[in-house]
Chains A and B, each alone.
Chain A
């Protein structure tokens, strides 16, 4: 599908599915490359539904999870683990970084931006979901992208089209938003690198950039 850089960042408006994409992408990398893959939860915004929810599946797949000590506890602190520095000091593993939502979440990334830019072997993907009401247009999405770039200090290099309606997503829901993703890409002068689709309907979209999603949050 693509030629992965050593570091892949997933940023976006909150609730666009960054965590879900990051976890599924880490699985994809591990399967495709068979090399060492680490995933880091850098979300300082979200209290529930975190990368840590997939701890068991990640561990079984041999993917190392770096997660704030207080994730999924009652300690509502925007604290990041020191182990994050290891991701950039030891460059023998692929790193997938799940960044918190909006510019507020991306501030945490700014701290590591000099290390990421210096190594210069990264992709910074914007996760777009045009079914989210505050980013349902190209215009609104670009505004959020600019805010995130200003906070995270790393330019976007690609777009992940994750337009979906959760469990109810039908193939036509995704296909219907492809023109918006293309327009966003053209306006930002970066490519659409992946179209994220639930595994069970991933064959019905007719594109060769599909990231099939196996893990989804469930609420009973």
Chain B
């Protein structure tokens, strides 16, 4: 590993993407994600073969991603909530054409134009498809600037491996905060992409990148095949972190900035003799269902801490099969819960049956 540097989360994603072999970036500026595009604008022209293009809109940018992804090159775009909504049509096409690509969403408060402060209210959009049709993205949720970098490289690897778009779902705080980070300095491992449209040189059958099927039986078949691949992802790629869960009686589930806040609350609860623990999903699709199900066997309540009106809580309720109460501790519209608020929720849950 190289020397540590001090970076904003947005910059760490950009530099990690370049080091993961992504030489094509298309985007459109929006707070609180703009530093990512600005960093790409500065760095890409200095790299051989590097392309930075500020498109005329988010819709143009995602379709440029679709084009480059078709050639098998690593490619990405980034935006914040309203801009990611604009990209949904293109993301559906990329998923429908079975192409790898990275989409970064540094979320801000919504709905509508909302605000510029941090939020996690695009959980549904990220994990349940987002655009039209049956599809999924692999969705990774960083909780530190180091993870912003690490998960960027992982997202490219997973997208290539399973031929599907991946999303890094961060929030404004993660994008704007500054922390020391170690960036990988080894060359990324690239897998062969025999499906890519790179010119046949009259040496092979031509490849077709497409999401339109004229015969419904064929379209159905591609959908079933795609979902077999998704089943593999659900089997192999679930990632999460547990903190003090072994003997926990109260389970807090939170990702991203909410997980950092919650960890403080769990520490405080333990100090006061309450057996609290934290499950931090790192992938939210695939969702760590087994970890939640296990928690439901030894915890008396699960608390979902979210910067939204409660979205992940539905996946927690499903995964726990509602065996124990699942409650919400939240702020919304750009506000972040304080550790105290989470601690009070833990205290209330602990006191309920005593």
Contact = CB atoms under 8 A, between A and B. Distances in A.
Contact of A168 (B15, B31, B180): B180
A76 B116 contact: yes
A211 to B, nearest CB: 18
A166 B180 CA distance: 7
Interface in B144-178: 172-173, 176-178
Interface stretch (B208-216, B238-246, B256-264, B319-327): B256-264
Contact of B115 (A74, A131, A136, A164): A74
A186 B116 CA distance: 42
Contacts of B260: 219-220
B334 A74 contact: yes
A34 interface: no
Contacts of B117: 48, 74
Interface string A190-220: 0000000000000000000000000001011
B42 interface: yes
> Interface on chain B toward A: helix, strand, loop, or mixed SS?
mixed
Given A15-B178, A76-B31, A133-B15, A220 B5 contact: no
Given A166-B180, A220-B264, A133 B31 contact: no
Chain A interface bracket (under 10, 10 to 19, 20 to 34, 35 or more): 20 to 34
B6 A48 contact: no
Interface in B192-238: none
Contacts of A14: 35
Chain B interface bracket (under 10, 10 to 19, 20 to 34, 35 or more): 20 to 34
Contact of A47 (B176, B177, B179): B176
> Interface on chain A toward B: helix, strand, loop, or mixed SS?
loop
A166 B179 contact: yes
B17 interface: no
A15 B180 CA distance: 12
Nearest to A72: B117
Interface centre among A168, A217, A220 (most CB of B within 10 A): A220
Interface of A: 14-15, 46-49, 74, 76, 129, 131-134, 136, 164-168, 217, 219-220
28 contacts: A15-B6, A46-B176, A47-B176, A48-B117, A74-B114, A74-B116, A76-B116, A129-B6, A131-B4, A131-B5, A131-B6, A131-B180, A132-B5, A132-B6, A132-B7, A133-B7, A133-B11, A134-B42, A136-B5, A164-B6, A165-B4, A165-B180, A166-B6, A168-B180, A219-B257, A219-B260, A220-B261, A220-B339
Given A166-B6, A220-B257, 13 more contacts: A47-B31, A132-B5, A133-B7, A133-B15, A164-B6, A166-B179, A166-B180, A168-B4, A168-B180, A219-B179, A220-B260, A220-B261, A220-B263
Interface of B: 4-8, 11, 15, 31-32, 35, 39, 42, 109, 114-118, 172-173, 176-180, 257, 260-261, 263-264, 334, 339
